Amino acid sequence: MIEATNLPKNLELEKNILGSLLIDKNALPLVIGLLNEDVFYDLKHKKIFSTIKSMFDKHISIDITTIAQKLQGDKAMDEVGGAYYLSKLTDNIVHTNHLNTHIEMVVELYKKRQAYLTLIQKSSEFLHPDTESLDSISSLISKLLGLQEFGNIYEQTIDQIVMQVITKRDMAQKGELLGFDTGFTELNTTIGGWCAPDMVVVAARPGAGKTAFMLSSVYHLAILKNVSTAIFSLEMSSEQLVERLESITSQVPLKRLRMNILNDYEKDVVMKADDKIIQAPIYIDDTGGLNISQLRAKATILKHKYGIKVIFIDYLQLMSGQGKSNQNREQEVSTISRNIKALAKELEVPIIALSQLSRRVEERADKIPQLSDLRESGSIEQDADIVVMLMRPEYYEMQESVEIKGKEYHPNGLVICKVEKNRHGITTNIPLRFIGETITIQNHNE
């Protein structure tokens, strides 16, 4: 084990940063905004920085004299090595041009120390007989990821952000998608594709086509477009999902696949479909009862290992949280929803979370879902950037034609894709088609 005295540190750099604060008032907001006293290794430096920060927060003028007075008043001058040590901090500071570099270096040393100490602290957990390994790993990864994000001084300037906005607008003008192909033409036009870092909720009643919608999109993303895609399936097994992808890819009815009653032509088609699926960048995790901490850990690993671009979760209400033990289910789902949104931003990927609708839909004559029907949590609609709701008239044995944008559609095979919330544009109803034999959803005109 490394002794405390051998932990990574550079006391001269710490002195340079503190000295810069004493001679350059412009350095104060930058350093105080990025660092805290824990970044400093030396106890004297911790105390000096905490004093400077306290004075800055109270709008007290900061120089060697005022800091000395403050330390004297707090009877803390001896803690920082006395007035002589304080005065020597500015001796080697000619200018503060290299302050950013010094901050980076000190933060890097702090991260190394904290990573080492975190690993030492966590090591005992792995030896405890009652500890679940995945929980400990998830906790460890979460701490290390939080450490990784600390002290980032490369914030984007407004001109950089404006240029990014203009670039995306130019892409849209040329007819290019801002995000990844959803597999549904009019949905792409409405929301711009699956865009990072959106949290998209796809909601429907059980059996109405949520998983079919997801797998149809995965087919277009991963199998046709070679986009790295992750599926976290809490309801269906990985084998079931692959079998359904086989049916979608081969267009061989799922029932014939499952019963293995294929003719020679179908066997050949399925083998070719399997080749496509094997080569596709699809990563499936079917851990039951996945909690939000485990999701974050696994998604982060997939992102770094395989460059995941899009994440699907099937489905949100089957996840468990790691909140307070006295939380009710609605509060727990709210916590899960907020964390999924945060994860989308953290990993810079779109996350499409499938969600159940409550039975209130069944009580309405038209069976058209509303945002208030999202099950177990009103916060889902608040956290989501986009909410898509699916409804199949055939599911409710409706016989009358359905009007969408002035056009009549026969209920057989019709899927009403209702974009109920869209931070980036309009809300609308989109007609899609459900193919029962292969449990596929596709553009209505295909």
| Residue 26, amino acid | N
The pLDDT value given to residue 369: 84
User: What residues contact 19, with CB distance under 8 A and at least 6 apart?
Assistant: 89, 90, 91, 92, 93
Q: How far separated are the first and last CA of the chain, in Å rounded?
A: 65
Q: Are the beta carbons of 414 and 433 closer than 8 angstroms?
A: yes
What single string gives the DSSP state of each residue in 347-411? HTS-EEEEEEBPGGGGGSSS----GGGBTT-THHHHH-SEEEEEE-GGGGT--S-EEETTEEE-S
The pLDDT value given to residue 1: 44
Q: With helix as H, strand as E and coil as C, how does 197-259 read?
A: CCEEEEEECCCCCHHHHHHHHHHHHHHHCCCCEEEEECCCCHHHHHHHHHHHHHCCCHHHHHH
What's 315's DSSP letter?
-
Question: Cα 84 to the chain's mean position, in Å?
Answer: 50
* Burial (CB count <10 Å: 0-12, 13-18, 19+), residue 348: exposed
Tally the C-alpha atoms within 13 A of residue 247's C-alpha that lie toward its C-beta: 24
Closest CA to 439 of 282, 284, 236: 236
- Answer whether 0.75 is exceeded by the pTM: no
Residue with token string 């849209």? 172
The pLDDT value given to residue 310: 96
The pLDDT value given to residue 65: 86
The pLDDT value given to residue 293: 78
CA atoms of 191 and 182, how far apart (whole Å): 10
Cα angle 184, 419, 358 (rounded to 5 degrees) comes to 115
- Pairing of β 407-409 and β 402-404: antiparallel
Q: Give kind and range of the element (H or E) at residue 162.
A: helix 158-173
Residue with token string 């929301």? 191
Tally the C-alpha atoms within 13 A of residue 7's C-alpha that lie toward its C-beta: 20
What's 25's DSSP letter?
T
Residues 357-378, buried b or exposed e (16+ Cβ, 10 A)?
beeebeeeeebbbebebbbbbe
Q: Cα separations (Å) of 299 from 230, 242, 321, 350? A: 8, 20, 16, 12
CA atoms of 351 and 83, how far apart (whole Å): 56
* Burial (CB count <10 Å: 0-12, 13-18, 19+), residue 145: middle
CA atoms of 280 and 229, how far apart (whole Å): 9
What's 316's DSSP letter?
G
The pLDDT value given to residue 181: 92
Closest CA to 87 of 111, 117, 106, 63: 63
Per-residue pLDDT of the chain (446 residues; tens, 9 = 90+): 445 557 888 998 888 888 888 888 777 877 877 788 888 999 999 999 989 888 888 888 888 888 888 888 888 888 888 888 888 887 766 566 678 788 888 888 988 888 888 888 877 777 777 666 666 776 777 677 767 666 554 455 556 566 666 666 666 666 667 889 999 999 999 999 999 999 999 998 888 889 999 999 999 999 999 999 999 999 889 999 999 999 999 999 999 888 888 898 989 999 999 999 999 999 999 888 788 878 887 888 888 788 899 999 987 888 876 655 556 767 777 888 888 998 898 888 999 999 888 888 777 777 788 887 776 666 777 888 999 999 888 888 888 888 888 888 888 889 989 999 998 889 999 999 999 899 999 998 86
Largest CA distance in the chain: 91
Which pair of tokens denotes residue 136? 């400990």
Q: Are the beta carbons of 10 and 105 closer than 8 angstroms?
A: yes
